[in-house]
Structure 1
Amino acid sequence: MAKYLKLQQFPQNMGELPIDFQNPNKCLLTGAFEEQLEMNGVSRTFITYLAPELEYCRQCIVVAPPSNVDALEYLQSGGWQTLADEQKLFVHMLVPQNGSWDSTGTDADYMNAVYSCIQTRDYYVTMQDNIYAFGIGDGAVIAQQAAMKMTSEWSGLGTIGELNADAVHFMDVSAVGQVQDNLELMVEAAKCQLPVWMAFNEFTPENQKVLAYWQQQNHTTCQSVVGEGADFIWMPGQVRTVSEVNEEQIAEVRLTLGQSAGTPQLIRTMWQYVGAARRHRGFGGKILRYYKDPIACGATLHTMEQEGFNRCWYEYVPKSCTGNEPRPLVVVMHGRGGTADTFFDISGMSCVAEARGFIAVFPQAGVYQQKPGGLRNVLLWDGIYDGKPVDDVQFIRALVADVENRIPIDKSRVYACGQSSGGMMSSTLGYYASDIFAAVAPWSGMWMEVERNIVRDKTTPQDIPYMFIYGSNDFLCAGKAPDPELPFSVSEAIRPRIAEIMARYGLKSENIQRWSCPPINWYLFPNESGVPMLTVGVVNNMVHANYPEESWISYDQFMCKFSRDAEGTLFYQGNPVY
């Protein structure tokens, strides 16, 4: 039986709460909390439930409950608290104004506003990749409307209840896209595929219209099958002409007929399917894939104590890596607010490792206080705790040494890559750990802040090549105007790093090599020997993000071509760089 909940208020100063040094990624509070947001000048309330031992970046369910129920009581009686406790989920319960839902679109906008609000990192850390909309009773109409207006933001939709004529009002309407720069949040609000499970009593005209809408969005076949608690399952067509490296055609439409009440068992059954997908940022839009759980995929979790913190990483050893043959090692690092397990999924690097026969490790960053008075345990590479820098270079050095002590590693072929804060960290390793790395591939971020590197004694002297990939719409990396000295535009924060690398290796703009392979425009800077010491890829129509194909490109076209011998000499395709 779930413990009775009392509605709490979040502390005004989250910076006063202590961090769990054994699990720095754990939520600092537990229980049900009231949150507020402003929408069109009106204050709206919703309830957030944080399960015991809940960690950041876990899946989030946003629920539109039936009208005229107490939201806090329904959180408990409807089975949501039990589900959250068992599976370690965030649950956000909407509260209708005056006890009933407004199906003209106002409350659909409220539900979508909650989607954005829960990502502000004021009291906990969530991801835009794994947030799901549920609606029960007449709340089903609100969830349907919200998903239709912002399909590309939700990772799944579940509704239990009869639908009315208002449910179809937004079939051809999308919300306005927006960028929340300080949190890397991009709302595209595009129409696209979405895993959907509905339950209602009968095939009324309104129910059938909504059903047909999602069948069209998901490109499902006309034939249905039965199973897993659904009376009808319409699956995407089997004939596909596009690559599924980045986005998988996985969105089914499921229907349970004869039920319009949200029983805990039905909700749990629907969640098992709806919660299996995640939607990640990429070029051209947000892309849907099944979640790759590190442990289920064969990775192992490792820990060590570093500077008083329990640090962790996932280690993926492909099935083909048997015997004593030394294998390359790739260190793959997540962005700010992310985690090791989420980036195992987002990067898709384990698939590259399996195909190419190298070891991949996915470490978790240290902590950082992103906002004054805010959380002190937002995960960020080279962070700060209590005014003291967290030395993540030493952590990565210790991690690599630990792996090398247990697994045959080709020490001449150790590489680093990562996105955003992880991209900054990979380029930082190029300055301060080039003695153990042969090449680095920062994605949507490069080392920028000198003051965060005060823990360093000196840079390492070895030369190291860079492959820098970022999106043309990346708020952190893309410039706002053409660059007078470069054929691509980068932000003022990144520009000095590009200039520094060019000066360090004597790279000249007049020697640049350019080509295009959509969606990327490439710019290669060779040194005097013709070796590409800096390669820049600008991804068309991409925001602050990365996508799985970048992992394949970074390894196949760049990292694997470089090696470094025991004396520190850098080789390119088997030949000394100088």
Structure 2
Amino acid sequence: MDIKRFPEKMGDLPIDFSNPKRTLISGLFQETAKVGGQPRKFLTYIPEGLDYCQPCLVAAIPSGEKPEEYLEASGLKAFAEDKKLFLHLATSETAWNADGSDADYLNAIYVAIQARDFYITMQDNIYLCGIGDGSFAAHQAARRMASEWSGLMTFGDLNGDLNTEHTALRGESDQGEVELKVMGMAAQLPVWMSMTAKNADNTAAVDFWKEQNHVVGAPLSGEGADEIWMPTPVRVLSEVNEEQIAQVRLAVREDPFTKEQMEAAWSYIGLARRHRGPGKKQLRYFKEPIACGAEKKTMEVDGMTRTWYEYVPKSCTPDQKWPLVVVFHGRGGTAETFFDLSCVSTVAEERHFIAVVPEAGVYQQKPNGLRNVLLWCGIYQDTPVDDVKFIRELVADVESRHSVDKSRVYAMGQSSGGMMSDLLAYTAGDIFAAVAPWSALRCPSKMYREWPACEQHVPTMMIYGDQDFLTAGHGEDPVLPFCLSDELRATLMEKLETYHLDPANVETWKTEPITWYAFPDKQGVPMVVIGRVDNMVHANYPEESWISYDQFLSQFHRSEDGTLYYRGRPVNESDV
């Protein structure tokens, strides 16, 4: 199979507006990852017609193999096409090293494939695979960055003992063993090992991962594995955001790398996702929208097919009206990934509301780069994408088919989706009773047209991480008891002025890990609330969906005559 070069001008490639998130290129391409400041090659195979944000599999293939030939002969190419994966081949002309340098190479590939220069990936679904003598390097890499990879599968015997500490594994590099222990707990990782025999090195690796994943009891067997070690079922620690799902599965086979073994391994490993949140990344099973009971819907707006997932709990029967919550993904995300990431279907099921997760329009993020990065209120060929129009038409469509309580329509979302949520508070108060943006507020510099301000004052709750370089400011604010980036601060101060709220009148409390700051009106109604999350970067986590709905959105509704209500009592907006 021929190795291609990436196009110099990705912006010249045509977009398929029937599927705006389709990857614009396909085939086998050469890339580089920086290891110790030096470039090292790897290959990326992109199946034809692949959508963005599909899972990535980084495979350390046996040393000495020509990767373009091995890709087809091994069945990896067919596997990537069947499972709809981005496949990244790590290679070594000589034997894979056990000194840790090749582990650094594999972890550098993890970093490199998120550049968004030629295709779009997520941090959530990147998996590691080792074949033959590449297996030990894969174990080393996973051990160093267990809180980053979503799963590990290896097919071959190990040539060293992971319990023997190498210099590079002692936390002396920024990807050292310290990554495994955050907030006093080792990071769990789903592991599948296929080997020829349970020799000392293989057994030592199994024992390491069993300890890492807190397994208990005797092993089970089945689904292609001879031993399945289950994590402890005792919920000692909070699992609001993370599930104890990391098993260690072991198969002893004369030929450890076969199509059947790959299929069996992926059927388990591919279930996990690694999501960002407070502290370390959090492991959960993937919530595929259709499998969870959602419906995929589309409509054409201004020549572009727009997509969303619609989740209607069975409890939301047509004999009464139900709240509607519209949930917006961040830049480069998709409706599918954010349905999973936000866990909004779980909240909808428990709180009895209709949830809609739409997909953004397109945007060219870099000069000559991809021009179909999904971004809310982006621009294409100098023409702004009217995502507000899309959302208005989407809400009208949902209301025409379901029994929606029009007084209780809400918006929430993260990053670019947070900006979109707050933009709707600014310009679509006739529809939305309250909004909860995460990691963002409306940023005029990042939008490509002006929007008219609505007459309504829409209550707003913004949650952000104190380690978020995009939203958190530095130092102390001269007025506010927290610090935001300049543009977010300007938007917040404009909102406080518009709503006639006193910046010095702040109610503060703490519910770990969030410190809250509420700006009440003269009636004591919290029209603007800010939540600062300890030890969190630019991220969101499922508990934010619960917090946003239970503690804020559901407290408000707007009657047909336009009156805003807080906890059932009218808000005098002239006093706001």
Which interval holds the TM-score relative to the shorter structure? over 0.9
What is the DSSP-based 3-state SS (H/G/I as helix, E as strand, rest coil) of the residue aligned with 1:222? coil
The Cα offsets for residues 154-185 of structure 1, whole Å up to 9 and x where unpaired, read as 0000011111225445685458559xxxxxxx
Asked if the contact 2:180–2:187 (Cα under 8 Å) also holds between the matched residues in 1, the reply is no
Alignment partner of 1:547 is 2:546: no
Asked if the contact 1:140–1:162 (Cα under 8 Å) also holds between the matched residues in 2, the reply is yes
Find the aligned partners of 1:169 and 1:405 in 2 and give their Cα distance: 64
Find the aligned partners of 1:437 and 1:259 in 2 and give their Cα distance: 62
Alignment partner of 1:74 is 2:74: no
Relative distance call for 1:280 and 1:492 in structure 2 (3 A) is same
How is 1:57-456 mapped onto 2 (pairs within 5 angstroms)? 57-96=53-92, 98-165=93-160, 167-169=162-164, 173-174=170-171, 176=173, 191-259=186-254, 261-450=256-445, 452-454=447-449, 456=451
Relative distance call for 1:74 and 1:169 in structure 2 (3 A) is farther
How is 1:5-20 mapped onto 2 (pairs within 5 angstroms)? 5-20=1-16
Corresponding residue of 1:575? 569
CA shift, 1:209, in A, is 1.2
Relative distance call for 1:496 and 1:170 in structure 2 (3 A) is farther
The Cα offsets for residues 339-369 of structure 1, whole Å up to 9 and x where unpaired, read as 0000000001110000010000000001111
The Cα offsets for residues 399-442 of structure 1, whole Å up to 9 and x where unpaired, read as 00000011010000000000000000000001111110000000
Find the aligned partners of 1:6 and 1:324 in 2 and give their Cα distance: 60
Alignment partner of 1:536 is 2:516: no
Ranges in structure 1 where 5+ consecutive residues have no aligned partner: 179-186
CA shift, 1:245, in A, is 2.4
Corresponding residue of 1:23? 19
Asked if the contact 1:104–1:166 (Cα under 8 Å) also holds between the matched residues in 2, the reply is no
Find the aligned partners of 1:366 and 1:25 in 2 and give their Cα distance: 9
Find the aligned partners of 2:558 and 2:44 in 1 and give their Cα distance: 51
Asked if the contact 2:196–2:256 (Cα under 8 Å) also holds between the matched residues in 1, the reply is no
CA shift, 1:261, in A, is 3.3
The Cα offsets for residues 274-310 of structure 1, whole Å up to 9 and x where unpaired, read as 1100000000110000000000000000001111110
The worse-fitting range, judged by mean Cα deviation, of 81-90 and 123-132 is: 81-90
How is 1:24-63 mapped onto 2 (pairs within 5 angstroms)? 24-63=20-59
Which one-letter code corresponds to 2:46 in the other structure? Answer: L
Asked if the contact 2:272–2:283 (Cα under 8 Å) also holds between the matched residues in 1, the reply is yes
The Cα offsets for residues 437-496 of structure 1, whole Å up to 9 and x where unpaired, read as 00000000111125725253x211111000000011011111111212111111112110
Aligned pair count reads 564
Find the aligned partners of 2:465 and 2:220 in 1 and give their Cα distance: 41
What is the DSSP-based 3-state SS (H/G/I as helix, E as strand, rest coil) of the residue aligned with 1:515? strand
Corresponding residue of 1:518? 512
CA-based RMSD = 1.6
Q: 1:559 aligns with which of 528, 543, 553?
A: 553
Asked if the contact 1:329–1:410 (Cα under 8 Å) also holds between the matched residues in 2, the reply is yes
Find the aligned partners of 1:466 and 1:545 in 2 and give their Cα distance: 19
Corresponding residue of 2:467? 473
What is the DSSP-based 3-state SS (H/G/I as helix, E as strand, rest coil) of the residue aligned with 1:557? helix
CA shift, 1:27, in A, is 0.4
Find the aligned partners of 2:94 and 2:343 in 1 and give their Cα distance: 45
CA shift, 1:516, in A, is 0.5
Which one-letter code corresponds to 1:576 in the other structure? Answer: P
Corresponding residue of 1:183? none
What is the DSSP-based 3-state SS (H/G/I as helix, E as strand, rest coil) of the residue aligned with 1:141? helix
Q: Alignment identity in percent?
A: 54
Relative distance call for 1:189 and 1:224 in structure 2 (3 A) is closer
Relative distance call for 1:260 and 1:150 in structure 2 (3 A) is farther
Ranges in structure 2 where 5+ consecutive residues have no aligned partner: none
Find the aligned partners of 1:326 and 1:460 in 2 and give their Cα distance: 26
What is the DSSP-based 3-state SS (H/G/I as helix, E as strand, rest coil) of the residue aligned with 1:220? coil
Which one-letter code corresponds to 1:523 in the other structure? Answer: Y
Find the aligned partners of 1:517 and 1:231 in 2 and give their Cα distance: 45
Alignment partner of 1:498 is 2:522: no
Which one-letter code corresponds to 1:68 in the other structure? Answer: G
Asked if the contact 1:365–1:379 (Cα under 8 Å) also holds between the matched residues in 2, the reply is yes
